[in-house]
């Protein structure tokens, strides 16, 4: 698959994967604050490569399920290696009917976020929780007033560091128009593969993000708490480790 096609697929399905240290920090907070408990039946909808379930750990809870429109190879390999007894389902999460779950966690496609929240809450057992990574501006919008009246979150965790899901690399030769979306840590090609001109790079997302958590009951009239997730330091350590590994790999080849 060409790099351009990969960019197309990523954008089409909102396939922007959560950076590992962020998913790890979110899972830790959910455990500490009692939203995710040992032995829980868990679902990661729109699972992508399994960013969150990777950090839940099969010794913590082994009944972990996943759903995505596309079941990608790295996810299937993760499932094979793990001891999860849950299923992976290929299809539209909005049609997914397996239930009930104690905890649903993930990073939904932004274009369908509200529908994923409403459907996810349907699949929870009473007092179960749903935690989604969303842009903070999901708090606002004309249609959100009625939504939050019906579904007040239990808490919103603001991230201390803005996550970077991808970087957009483009050709500096305007007429060429070549452009690709890459994971944030992937090295950008120095030259455009289409015309050979220099490339340049911009971050893909200038938004602040947060983790929104809902409890199935009680919902109406609940006042949400605002808390913070500190993951900036963890990200720095991870990025440094990754750079060292990449350098080592390049020296070996
Ligand atoms: C934003 S990515 C998040 C992936 C993963 N949860 C993570 O955090 O890295 C969204 C994922 O949703 C999938 N997707 C998009 N629309 C979907 C739908 N209606 N039902 C199921 N999966 C969907 C995409 O294939 C992609 O893997």
- Indicate if ligand 1 lies below 6 Å from the C-beta of 13: yes
- Is the pLDDT at 12 greater than 70? The verdict is no
The CA distances from residue 136 to 74, 113, 198, in Å, are 29, 12, 35
Distance 132 CA to ligand 1 centre (A): 12
The residue-averaged pLDDT of 127-134 equals: 97
Question: Using CA atoms, how far apart are residues 196 and 180, in angstroms rounded to an integer?
Answer: 15
Question: Using CA atoms, how far apart are residues 244 and 242, in angstroms rounded to an integer?
Answer: 5
The residue-averaged pLDDT of 221-227 equals: 86
The residue-averaged pLDDT of 13-23 equals: 83
Q: How confident is the model at residue 62 (pLDDT cuts 50, 70, 90)?
A: confident
Q: Say what the alpha-carbon torsion angle 91, 89, 144, 51 is, to the nearest 10 degrees.
A: -120
Nearest CA to ligand 1 atom 12: 46
Q: Report pLDDT for 147.
A: 94
Distance 15 CA to ligand 1 centre (A): 6
Q: Report pLDDT for 2.
A: 34
The number of C-alpha atoms within 13 Å of 142 and in the hemisphere containing its C-beta is: 0
pTM (2 d.p.): 0.85
Tell which residue, 22, 20, 47, has the closest CA to residue 108.
47
Q: Report pLDDT for 34.
A: 96
The residue-averaged pLDDT of 19-48 equals: 96
Distance 206 CA to ligand 1 centre (A): 20
Which of 164-173, 179-188, 217-226 is predicted with the least confidence, judged by mean pLDDT? 179-188
Q: Report pLDDT for 4.
A: 34
Q: Report pLDDT for 227.
A: 97
Higher pLDDT, residue 33 or 221: 33
- Indicate if ligand 1 lies below 6 Å from the C-beta of 61: no
The residue-averaged pLDDT of 183-205 equals: 79
Out of 3.20.20.70, 3.40.50.150, 1.10.8.60, 1.10.10.60, select the CATH number for domain 3-160+207-252. 3.40.50.150
Mutate which of 9, 12, 13 for ligand 1 pocket (most atoms within 8 A of beta carbon): 13
Question: Using CA atoms, how far apart are residues 124 and 128, in angstroms rounded to an integer?
Answer: 5
Q: Could you tell me what percent of the chain has a pLDDT over 70?
A: 86
Please state, as a whole number, how many other Cβ atoms lie within 10 Å of the Cβ of residue 205: 17
The CA distances from residue 64 to 73, 122, 157, 216, in Å, are 18, 18, 23, 19
| H or E element in which residue 127 lies | strand 124-135
Q: Residue-wise over 110-131: b if at least 16 C-beta within 10 A, else e? A: eeebbebbebbbebbeeebbbb
Higher pLDDT, residue 244 or 8: 244
- Is the pLDDT at 1 greater than 60? The verdict is no
Distance 164 CA to ligand 1 centre (A): 16
| Pairing, β 88-90 against β 64-68 | parallel
């Amino acid at each position: 698959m060409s790099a351009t096609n990969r960019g197309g697929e990523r954008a089409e399905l909102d396939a922007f994967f959560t950076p590992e240290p962020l998913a790890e920090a979110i899972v830790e907070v959910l455990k500490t604050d009692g939203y995710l408990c040992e032995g829980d039946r868990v679902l990661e909808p729109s699972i992508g490569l399994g960013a969150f379930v990777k950090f839940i750990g099969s010794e913590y809870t082994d009944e972990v399920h996943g759903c995505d429109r596309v079941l990608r190879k790295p996810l299937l390999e993760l499932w094979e290696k793990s001891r999860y007894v849950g299923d992976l389902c290929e299809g539209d999460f909005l049609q997914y009917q397996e239930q009930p779950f104690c905890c649903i966690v993930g990073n939904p496609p932004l274009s369908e976020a509200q529908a994923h929240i409403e459907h996810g809450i349907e699949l929870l057992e009473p007092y179960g929780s749903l935690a989604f990574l969303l842009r903070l501006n999901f708090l606002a919008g004309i249609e959100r007033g009625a939504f939050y009246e019906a579904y007040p979150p239990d808490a919103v965790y603001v991230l201390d560091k803005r996550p970077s899901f991808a970087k957009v690399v483009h050709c500096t030769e305007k007429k060429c128009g070549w452009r690709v979306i890459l994971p944030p840590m992937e090295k950008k090609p120095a030259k455009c593969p289409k015309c050979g001109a220099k490339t340049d790079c911009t971050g893909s997302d200038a938004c602040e993000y947060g983790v929104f958590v809902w409890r199935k009951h009680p919902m109406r009239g609940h006042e949400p708490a605002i808390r913070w997730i500190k993951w900036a330091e963890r990200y720095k350590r991870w990025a440094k480790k990754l750079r060292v590994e990449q350098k080592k790999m390049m020296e070996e080849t």
